[in-house]
Amino acid sequence: MAQTRNTPENRRDPAPRPTDRVFDLGKRTRSIRHGRQAIQELAHQVTAAVVETLDLIGIVHRVLRRVLHKRHTSTTARHRANIVNAQAQTTPADMLIWVRVALISRVDRAVAGLADMLRAVGHEPVGVLTTALGASRYGADSLAGITSQARDGFDVVVAGAPSRIAPLLAALDADVAISAAFPVLIPADALDVPRLGIINTHPSLLPRYRGPNPIAWTVRNGDRELGYSVHRMDAEFDTGPLLVQGTTPIDDVEAPSELFERMFALLGSLLPDALARVETGDRGDPQLDAQASYAGFFEPEYAEIDWSQTAAEVSRQVLAWGVAARRPGAHGALRVRGDDAAGGIRADCADGALWIVETEPA
């Protein structure tokens, strides 16, 4: 048999090696030796898709939380506590939209209460901005009560003048600030310091009872419910766009402590809705200025009780002073009941008797 010599003319190329095989990938042909680059590109695409999906989930959650959150205004402390506990149990911790919150307040009880509310719904209170101004209205003890709350992770800064509010607020490095019971108008340069702005809490159904004394005027006028509004803060007192409102009954309240308890419970049920709107960039709903009224300080003459009034009128007057924002000066206080179950001093009114069960020196 003749043998073919292995010459350049009759030598055949060897079969293609596996690494040289090509594949058609959607109208593109690539050598498998470039597969690593293709896989890396695909991984980047998948990562980008996952990030976009997580962003979408966050947006959907914000909308759902706003739609599904129920506004509660229960009449008993036990029922209100059950509402808060139920919300905490039905909202997974990893689904909460966590924000850093700075508080702005001159009242120690407001600071402590708001901080607890925020922690209960998964937010982080990072500190409070307060001021030494307003001592005659809130007392020196309240400022001391605020500064005593400072600890690791919760700073207290004290503004000596309105011009110091913006830089001190910036130092707290918060996403949003919440103001409650603060006697100083927040300057315009401070309003945009937190990236989500500043919101204010006001105990009335704004625009009714704008001003420093809304709770007391609610009682004095015999309103059966106490309103509460959470709104975006603007350049004036109590005029910014509304985020959420609610009410709680107070017609059976006898003592200031009970009224404040219901007020804080109401605020606790409203605050998650307000923060949900803020987190989505919602600017809120404008107030109707034509419906506005002003709740100023009481006139000194209202401190004197006219016992020729009805028992209901006297009771409202006593309770109104017990929750009133006060100017400097003497303000003695009473606590009265409509029966003698707790003893006390009988005082006859136009249509019946009241019993004075507690007094405070002027």
Is the pLDDT higher at 191 or at 75? Answer: 191
The sign of the torsion formed by the CA atoms of 85, 90, 94, 100 equals negative
* Range name among 129-138, 258-267, 309-318, 337-346 with the lowest pLDDT average: 337-346
* Range name among 16-25, 126-135, 138-147 with the lowest pLDDT average: 16-25
In 1-107, which ranges are continuous DSSP H helix? 35-68, 77-90
Is the pLDDT higher at 68 or at 38? Answer: 38
Give the pLDDT confidence score for residue 338 in this predicted structure: 73
| Residue 337 to residue 218: CA distance in whole angstroms | 20
Give the pLDDT confidence score for residue 331 in this predicted structure: 54
* Range name among 1-5, 155-159, 339-343 with the lowest pLDDT average: 1-5
Q: Which CATH class is domain 53-291?
A: alpha beta
Region 224-251: what's the mean pLDDT? 97
Digit-coded pLDDT (tens) for 82-123? 333 433 343 333 334 689 999 999 999 999 999 999 999 999
The three-class DSSP label of residue 309 is: coil
| Residue 219 to residue 221: CA distance in whole angstroms | 5
Give the pLDDT confidence score for residue 333 in this predicted structure: 63
Give the pLDDT confidence score for residue 336 in this predicted structure: 74
Region 45-65: what's the mean pLDDT? 49
Q: Which residue from 120, 90, 103 is spatially nearest to 156, judged by alpha carbons?
A: 103
The 8-class DSSP code of residue 34 comes to: G
103 close to 127: Cβ distance less than 8 angstroms? yes
Reading the block at residue 39, the tokens are: 């896989």
* Range name among 175-179, 292-296, 319-323 with the lowest pLDDT average: 319-323
Asked whether the predicted pLDDT for residue 75 surpasses 70, the reply is no
Give the pLDDT confidence score for residue 345 in this predicted structure: 87
Asked whether the predicted pLDDT for residue 335 surpasses 60, the reply is yes
* Range name among 38-52, 137-151, 279-293 with the lowest pLDDT average: 38-52
Question: Residue 119 — φ and ψ, nearest 5°?
Answer: -65, -35
Burial class (CB in 10 A: 0-12, 13-18, 19+), 323: buried
Is the pLDDT higher at 241 or at 337? Answer: 241
Question: Residue 270 — φ and ψ, nearest 5°?
Answer: -90, -30
The three-class DSSP label of residue 114 is: helix
| Residue 105 to residue 169: CA distance in whole angstroms | 12
Give the pLDDT confidence score for residue 96 in this predicted structure: 44
Asked whether the predicted pLDDT for residue 297 surpasses 80, the reply is yes
Per-residue pLDDT band for 265 (boundaries 50, 70, 90) equals: very high
How confident is the prediction for the chain on average, in pLDDT? 79
Reading the block at residue 159, the tokens are: 């503004």
Cα dist from 177 to 122, 231, 336, whole Å = 16, 12, 39
Give domain limits for the chain.
Answer: 53-291, 300-360
Asked whether the predicted pLDDT for residue 60 surpasses 90, the reply is no
| Residue 83 to residue 190: CA distance in whole angstroms | 35
| Residue 130 to residue 136: CA distance in whole angstroms | 15
| Residue 35 to residue 37: CA distance in whole angstroms | 5
Instruction: List 101's β-bridge partners, or say none.
Output: 125, 176
The three-class DSSP label of residue 271 is: helix
Asked whether the predicted pLDDT for residue 278 surpasses 70, the reply is yes
Per-residue pLDDT band for 342 (boundaries 50, 70, 90) equals: confident
Model confidence pTM above 0.85: no
Digit-coded pLDDT (tens) for 154-164? 999 999 999 99
Per-residue pLDDT band for 133 (boundaries 50, 70, 90) equals: confident
